Amino acid sequence: MLRFDIITIFPEFFRGVFDFGIVRRARAGGLVETAAHDLRTWTHDRHKVVDDRPFGGGDGMVLKPEPVFEAVESLAGAGDAQSLREAGKRVVLLSPQGRVLTQELAAEFAAVEHVVVICGRYEGVDERVAERLATDEVSIGDYVLSGGEPAAVVLVDAVTRLLPGALGSETSAVNESFSAGLLDFPNYTRPVEFRGARVPEVLLSGHHAEVARWRRRAALAKTRRNRPDLFAHLPLDDEERATSTGQEEEGNF
Ligand code: 6GU
């Protein structure tokens, strides 16, 4: 059982968001547990203040360290990053300054027992949280969100679907293909012709080896077109590299 504890100033954001699809089923099946906690719970002043002005000046407010440290210590126990990791726990600070979340990092989180997630807010979080409290500082991509809450939903989804038993066996192969740095092949279903666009003939042929060859080539062409960064790192033989020339777009391989 993996437990996610999410620390946020918007706990209501998470009401219902984990009640759908794979995550709902994983929760119902006891594979994962999620809880959202209001950061203001760990303040001690009348106005439950969680932020303050940045030293050195500048716009916006910074999340104060004290409530964040108290929240994490009450949920995960005290301890430095190393002892937390040794206990099978991670404390993840979500921020645009983090390491970008990959399938590999999601798999690391899927292998532990407890993930405490800190949702950054405002213009930032006191850096001592990243330096002295979090085991990981994670971003979900190169764009700016107003806060870490949508990123927490992404993290829980990406990790939960990797838990043993969360997916059917045929879907787990898809995820392996992305782990291998190649995008999934294009899929089609009925009708064979839709608004003048036909399903590639080979997929109707029943020739399994031909279908497999088409899918491999289509996946390579799509990866090359949409993700040249991934394509550049694929371990391809000369023929595969040469035949993924982008001329396959009409389904003629
Ligand atoms: Cl984790 N937080 C924020 N505020 N923006 C982001 C992000 C996280 N990941 C990408 N952009």
CATH number of the domain that 187 lies in? Answer: 1.10.1270.20
141 C-beta closer than 6 A to ligand 1: yes
Q: Which domain holds residue 73?
A: 2-160
Number of folded domains in the chain?
2
Residue 21 Cα to ligand 1 midpoint, Å, equals 24
Q: Give the mean model confidence (pLDDT) for residues 125-137.
A: 98
46-100 pLDDT, tens digit per residue, is: 999 999 999 999 999 999 999 999 999 999 999 999 999 999 999 999 999 999 9
- Ligand 1, residue 151: give the atom nearest the CA: 1
Q: Give the mean model confidence (pLDDT) for residues 183-191.
A: 98
pLDDT over threshold 80, residue 161: yes
How sure is the predictor about 253, in pLDDT bands with cuts at 50, 70 and 90? low
pTM listed for this prediction: 0.94
Using most ligand atoms within 8 A of CB, pick from 62, 95, 115 the residue to mutate for ligand 1. 95
Rounded Cα distance between 64 and 22, Å, is 35
Where residue 135 sits, what CATH number does that domain have? 3.40.1280.10
Residue 137 Cα to ligand 1 midpoint, Å, equals 10
- Same domain, yes or no: 207 and 148: no
Residue that terminates a domain, selected from 101, 128, 160: 160
pLDDT over threshold 80, residue 193: yes
pLDDT over threshold 80, residue 228: yes
* Inside any domain, residue 165: no
- Same domain, yes or no: 110 and 220: no
- Same domain, yes or no: 94 and 155: yes
pLDDT over threshold 50, residue 173: no
81-91 pLDDT, tens digit per residue, is: 999 999 999 99
